[in-house]
């Protein structure tokens, strides 16, 4: 298990950064209004108004923005405003010792999957896979409530009360939660930030990919021997796949069905209106019979 991070309190200062694609500043109001709702104060990083081709500033600007937020003792959490692409470009230059010495909440998903892998492994810290601030107006009330896990240590319990779940393979497993966007997980392979799957429960989610594209990525994970020692698999949202759910489930069964581990599909975690935020780096229990995922808190008192 990775180290949990200090919880937030009303009135705390948080940082808002863009470590990937360019932000549309005119859409920032809704994101900041949401932080107001949570009772948080905020500072805006230089990257929010920066542009370098398709990136939110050049690599040095994005790296510096992250480091400044980490170094600032008043900043208790770092929220990523937007995904897209770009976080992998700064991963090698991040000062992970600085992060480990200044543990604070790191929140984002999609392209930030790359940094979840990096921070979990090199700063040994829990991170949070949750909706980008720029999509605060597009997520439902339940997804907004998931931000409250940052204010006090609460165990997350995901059952069919949230969404219908499908057991792809039975069993019960306990292991550290890891994962994120399938494309970005595959892009870590062969790098020092390669996703570590041994004894862990892997979350995967994706959007806008065909079944053949998803097949190709799962095949690469398989050939990289990343599926052999998994403890369990949580299949999140696969949206805009241009295929039906049955085809997706058959593909998942082909890759994960004979591993002797629990595999459950249907979790609303990913690119969807319901995007349930969860911590990475803490222990979780996946029960495929009861269709329940329980995850330990990511923050401490």
Query: Residue ranges per domain, the chain?
Result: 5-141, 156-300
For residues 111-132, give the mean pLDDT. 98
CATH superfamily of 5-141: Murein tetrapeptidase LD-carboxypeptidase, N-terminal domain (3.40.50.10740)
List the catalytic residue out of 20, 21, 87, 110. Answer: 110
Contact of 230 with 252, CB cutoff 8 Å: no
pLDDT at position 49 is 96
Looking at domain 156-300, which of 1.10.10.10, 3.50.30.60, 3.40.50.300, 3.90.1150.10 is its CATH number?
3.50.30.60
User: Measured between alpha carbons, how far is residue 173 from residues 178, 196, 202, 262, 272 in Å?
Assistant: 14, 17, 11, 7, 27
d(CA 193, CA 26): 34
Q: Is the pLDDT of residue 26 over 90?
A: no
Residue range 222-261, pLDDT digits in tens: 999 999 999 999 999 999 887 788 999 999 999 999 999 9
Task: Let me know the angle formed at the C-alpha of 209 by 207 and 213, rounded to the nearest 5 degrees.
Answer: 140
d(CA 34, CA 24): 17
The token pair that represents 42 in the structure block:
């905020």
Domains 5-141 and 156-300 belong to one CATH topology: no
d(CA 296, CA 234): 15
For residues 35-49, give the mean pLDDT. 98
SS (H, E, C) 51-113: CECCECCCHHHHHHHHHHHHHCCCEEEEEECCCCCCHHHCHHHCCHHHHHHCCCEEEECHHHH
- 271 tagged catalytic: yes
| Alpha helix segments (H runs only) across the chain | 28-37, 59-71, 96-101, 113-122, 141-145, 182-187, 211-223, 245-256
List the catalytic residue out of 20, 87, 143, 205. Answer: 205
Residue range 125-135, pLDDT digits in tens: 999 999 999 99
List the catalytic residue out of 21, 121, 271, 272. Answer: 271
d(CA 61, CA 39): 28
pLDDT at position 240 is 85
pTM, full prediction: 0.98
d(CA 55, CA 49): 11
pLDDT at position 188 is 98
pLDDT at position 242 is 76
* Closest C-alpha to 283, from 97, 78, 4: 4
For residues 269-289, give the mean pLDDT. 98
- 110 tagged catalytic: yes
pLDDT at position 235 is 98
What does DSSP say about strands 166-169 and 263-265: parallel, antiparallel, or unpaired?
antiparallel
* Closest C-alpha to 87, from 125, 55, 124: 55
Partnered with residue 169 across adjacent β-strands are: 263
For residues 140-167, give the mean pLDDT. 98
């Amino acid at each position: 298990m990775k180290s949990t991070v200090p919880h937030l309190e009303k009135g705390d200062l948080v940082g808002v950064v863009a470590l990937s694609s360019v932000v549309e500043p005119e859409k920032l109001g809704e994101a900041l209004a949401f932080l107001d709702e949570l009772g948080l104060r905020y500072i805006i990083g230089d990257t929010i108004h920066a542009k370098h081709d398709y990136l939110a500033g050049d690599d040095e600007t994005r790296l510096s923005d992250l480091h400044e937020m980490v170094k600032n003792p008043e900043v208790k959490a770092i929220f990523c405003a937007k995904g897209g692409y770009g976080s992998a470009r700064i991963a090698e230059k991040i000062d992970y010792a600085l992060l480990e010495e200044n543990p604070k909440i790191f929140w984002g998903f999609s392209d930030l999957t790359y940094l979840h892998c990096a921070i979990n492994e090199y700063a040994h810290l829990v991170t949070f896979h949750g909706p980008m601030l720029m999509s605060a107006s597009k997520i439902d009330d339940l997804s907004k409530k998931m931000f409250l896990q940052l204010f006090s240590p609460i165990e997350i319990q995901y059952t069919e009360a949230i969404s219908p779940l499908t057991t792809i393979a039975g069993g019960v497993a306990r292991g550290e939660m890891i994962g994120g966007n399938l494309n970005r997980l595959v892009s870590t392979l062969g790098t020092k930030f390669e996703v570590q799957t041994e004894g862990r429960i892997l979350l995967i989610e994706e959007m806008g990919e065909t079944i053949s594209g998803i097949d190709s990525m799962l095949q690469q994970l398989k050939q990289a021997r990343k599926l052999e020692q998994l403890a369990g698999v949580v299949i999140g949202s696969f949206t805009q796949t241009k295929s039906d759910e049955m085809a997706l489930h058959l593909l998942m069964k082909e890759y994960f069905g004979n591993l002797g581990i629990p595999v459950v599909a249907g979790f609303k975690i990913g690119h969807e209106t319901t995007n349930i935020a969860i911590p990475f780096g803490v222990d979780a229990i996946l029960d495929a019979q009861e269709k329940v995922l329980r995850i330990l808190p990511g923050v401490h008192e």
